[in-house]
Structure formats: structure tokens, C-alpha cells
Amino acid sequence: MSDAVLASDALNFDAIIAAFYQHGWVWLPNFLSSELNAALLHEAQHDANLTPAGIGRQSAHQLNQQIRRDATQWFDGQSAAQQQYLALMAQLQLIFNRRCFLGLFDFECHFARYNKGDYYQKHVDAFSGRSNRVLTTVSYLNSVNAGGELALYDEHDRLIDKFLPTAGSLVLFESERFPHAVLPAIDSRYSIAGWFRKNASINGILDPAS
């Protein structure tokens, strides 16, 4: 595993920023407290209305199970667990803006479920100059024995690492820079996929996520 992994204090911001500056990505195995993780997992499993995920946004949105087969539900910020999670991500947004001058404007995220055989083919979350997504985050809510790994690739399409879902961990990386895929699940896999965005508004109208 790369030295971009931080294995102890999940909120050691100096270590997080140092690893991010060096690699453009970081893995935090102990990011969420067990209590918050359990509350979010319960909501994803029992309260959320997860539906088949599509590709594209707005008028270009479509279902394509050849590309992805997960089910999702966007956060609405109504539950206490969601509010705590969003507050935690707001801390990350503040420190990245202060230390890296990224101009992060807001954060959006959704629950995701991958049942046996579900996957998401290799893709990037943002294309240079065509998206307002800056940083991608994946928070794992349950541990699995096998399958459902996040495969992260570099700019030359070389595999950097595969991250087996482990409850409470988080992977963060630059949205434009790193292609990634979710490998076929064996055990059911629950996570939160999120994006820190810049403000690409025109005439005061906020640009939608892309």
C-alpha cells in the first residue's frame, strides 16, 4: 500500500494535506467514528430509498447497466447522521481551501449500494475544463471479505491500488486526474460517494453538478 495511506489519526490535517500534496489522493482507514458510521449504514440499509443509478446529468441522464449497476440516493440533510457527516466534510472543505487554495464551493453526496455482481466501469468524475467537480470522496460504510474494491489509476492508466471496502474508511482524490472503477461486488457494499465542487456559476446562477 502506498505511503499516501494514513493509518492513525483521521483528522490529522497536516498529514492529510501533506499526503494529498505529494500524491493527489489519500486513504483514511479510520475517518468515521464507529457511532456515526453505524448510523449512516443503518440509514442506507433501512431508511434510504435507493434506486438504480444512471450516467450523465439533467437532460443527458440515462440508465446504462453496461457501465454501472449500483443503486443510489442523494443526501437531503434531514437526518442527524447526514448532518454530522456533512459537517465533517465541511471541515475538510475548509482546510483544503485554506491550505491548498482549491476554491471549493460546496459538497454533494449520495448513498450507494452494490449488490453481488454490481460494478461501475472505469471512468473519471470530471473532464478538464468541463466540470465543477474538484475532489472525489468515497466513504465505506461496511466491511466486506472480497469484491467491490475501488480500483484507482494514475494519469497513464496504471493501477495505483485497489481499496477493499472497510467500514469507516475514506478515499479522497482529484476528480479530473484519476480514473477509477468499482470492481464487481461479491458481498453487498454500502458507501457514500461525494464531490467537493467549485462555483462555475454564470450571472449569479449556480452551475449544476456535472
53 band by pLDDT with thresholds 50, 70 and 90: confident
Q: CA 36, CA 125: separation in Å to the nearest integer?
A: 26
The residue type of 175 is S
Entry pTM: 0.86
67 band by pLDDT with thresholds 50, 70 and 90: confident
Task: Out of 39-43, 166-170, 176-180, 205-209, pick the least confident.
Answer: 205-209
In the chain, % of residues over pLDDT 70: 82
Decide: 88 and 77 in contact? Cβ < 8 Å: no
Distance between first and last Cα of the chain: 31
The pLDDT score that the predictor gives to residue 209 is 44
Domains, the chain, in order of start with CATH, read: 13-55+75-196 (2.60.120.620)
The pLDDT score that the predictor gives to residue 98 is 95
* Look-up of cell digits 457514500: 192
Provide the 3-class DSSP secondary structure of residue 49. coil
User: In this model, does residue 102 exceed pLDDT 80?
Assistant: yes
Decide: 25 and 172 in contact? Cβ < 8 Å: yes
R_g over Cα of the chain? 16
Rounded mean pLDDT of the chain?
87
* Look-up of cell digits 443526501: 75
Q: What is the mean pLDDT of residues 75-96?
A: 96
Distance from CA of residue 80 to its chain's centroid? 20
The pLDDT score that the predictor gives to residue 7 is 40
Burial of 105 (0-12, 13-18, 19+ CB in 10 A): middle
DSSP at 47: I
Helix, strand, coil abundance in the chain, percent, nearest 5:
25, 30, 45
Q: What is the mean pLDDT of residues 160-183?
A: 97
Decide: 167 and 141 in contact? Cβ < 8 Å: yes
Q: Pick from 141, 153, 145, 209: which is nearest to 182 by CA?
A: 153
**Full 3-state SS string of 29-53:** CCCCCHHHHHHHHHHHHHHCCCEEC
Q: CA 67, CA 65: separation in Å to the nearest integer?
A: 5
DSSP at 94: H
The residue type of 123 is H
Q: What is the mean pLDDT of residues 14-22?
A: 93
Decide: 133 and 126 in contact? Cβ < 8 Å: yes
pLDDT higher for 54 or 127?
127
